Amino acid sequence: MTLIALAISVAYIYSSAVVFGLEGKYFFWELATLIDVMLLGHWFEMKSVLSASRALEKLAQLMPDTAHLIKGSDTTEVKISELKKGNKILVKAGEKIPADGLVVKGSSYIDESMLTGESKPVHKKENDKVIGGSVNGDGILEVKVEETGEESYLNKVIDLVKEAQSSKSKTQRLADKAASWLTLIAVTVGVATLVYWYTYGLDLAFAIERMATVMVITCPHALGLAIPLVTAVSTSLSAKNGLLIRNRTAFENARKITTLVFDKTGTLTEGKFGVSQVTIIDKNYDEKKIIQFAASLETNSEHPIAKGIMKRAEELKIKTMPVSDFGVIKGQGIKGKIEGKNIFLVSQAYIRKNNFKLQEEIKVNHSETMVYALFDSKIIGIISLSDKIREESYEAVQQLKKLNIKCWMLTGDNSRIAKEVANTLHLDGYFAEILPHEKQEKIKELQNKDQFVAMTGDGINDAPALAQANVGIAIGSGTDVAAETADIILVNSNPLDVTKLILFGKATYQKMIQNLFWATGYNVLAIPLAAGVLFSYGIIISPAIGAALMSLSTIVVAVNAQFLSIDKERD
């Protein structure tokens, strides 16, 4: 706006001086026309900008205004701001769910597409989590409120979108620098144009008109908005499709990825372990006792293996026992005291490291994970758990290879299981029996081979590797969007979303380059014409036409940003 203000001020002051006696001609009519065209163009421009920046408004509209609060046998309609943690609410068929919570009664199919990008309705039953803002299907649900206000999933997403839109990537900073330089160039060329035409041209009025046209037509509106508009559109689209961007530069750099490293459990596999077998080593113990020891140690753990053991304990109707002196053996298991005795639940790596030997050879299914139960430093049993490869993993790896991206796997599981999964999915390589603190080193190894590495993990024990990677992707976070070390969070545990992310990152970057090309290319042609280089051929641009062209360039940039589509890129 500096250039426009300068051009209008000079034209007005000169015309006013002519009114008060200066020799020359005034051009108030041209000035008024210029201002009218500028305002009209600005209105169109702002309309395009606002339509591109309504991501937060659209997300906020997903939440309903009221909820049906259950009080005893009665229900009362209340504002959602009045809901508190622990309240029970009734969600009728077709209604939006007013808060994050746990289903305590009923079952239904929930449409979460506007929040997570999951196109198919998700079946929810008792003890399943539901997200505020998602739409209930035909069933009736009673939900216990768990998160409200700032703690809710939707508010966390809105905060992330707000943060992503306000943050600047390297591309944006480049555009800002270019806009600053363009302003300086415009002032310099404008003054030079004034001097040239006043010295060699017709009169002072003509020289001022040429200078004003140069300044108006060079106004870097389009250049200044080229990146923010694409940022606004891409951020809102990605949030609706379950891709939450925390680092804009990393998102744009997704196009550079040459190697993608997957965590195994819960990413390439379902992460739902089930106990397939309990091998008794010490005949003084049976399956129930070994599972009881294991379940007692795993009571408060959220690890997939722990969930598998706890599920088996529930099936056998086993009660857990009190545990004292609980501790974690980093990356290798857990320990504690039960009835005064030391109980360990450890991996195969721990057994090998400490030179434990089995008296008899154990038949091993290479697709199973084995957990060893130790009682006072003596192996009493082996719990075998199995985990299935996700159906989506096959297609995800194929798509990534089509993009010439190498696929690796990083896991703490034993090498036999890792090899079987890697061979089944046709991965380029794998690292097995890796402790959490060693994962970072493996990422460095790949980077030292001139690879641009993306790491996908759960954002907890993979934190060092996610931070080390060029692009850190937290996958399978569900409604937990607080993965601090990740650049991008994928709401769904679907490896295909990684492919979607890379393709959308490429498409977003292409839109930015297109906008920058238009915004700068337009000025290369416009500045000489505005200065009057073709005046001798009868071609001249008035300030009003210059204003129209400047506004048009901004509108083109805004409309081009709107054509960005995540679904189109995915298809």
| Residues known to be catalytic | 263
Closest residue by Cα to residue 114 from 97, 99, 98, 133 = 133
Measured CA to CA, the distance from residue 467 to residue 461 in angstroms comes to 11
- Six-digit token pair at 263? 């965590």
- Six-digit token pair at 463? 């934190």
Cα–Cα–Cα angle for 19, 22, 25, rounded to 5 degrees: 65
- Six-digit token pair at 240? 């609706």
Could you tell me whether strands 88-91 and 141-147 are parallel, antiparallel, or unpaired per DSSP bridges? Answer: antiparallel
Measured CA to CA, the distance from residue 465 to residue 459 in angstroms comes to 9
Measured CA to CA, the distance from residue 518 to residue 553 in angstroms comes to 8
Q: Which contiguous run of DSSP H or E holds residue 158? A: helix 153-166
What does DSSP assign to residue 364? -
Instruction: Tell me the three state secondary structure of residue 462.
Output: coil
Q: What residues have CB less than 8 Å from 423, skipping those under 6 apart?
A: none
SS (H, E, C) 276-294: EEEEECCCCCCHHHHHHHH
Q: What residues have CB less than 8 Å from 298, skipping those under 6 apart?
A: 305, 306, 309, 310, 334, 345
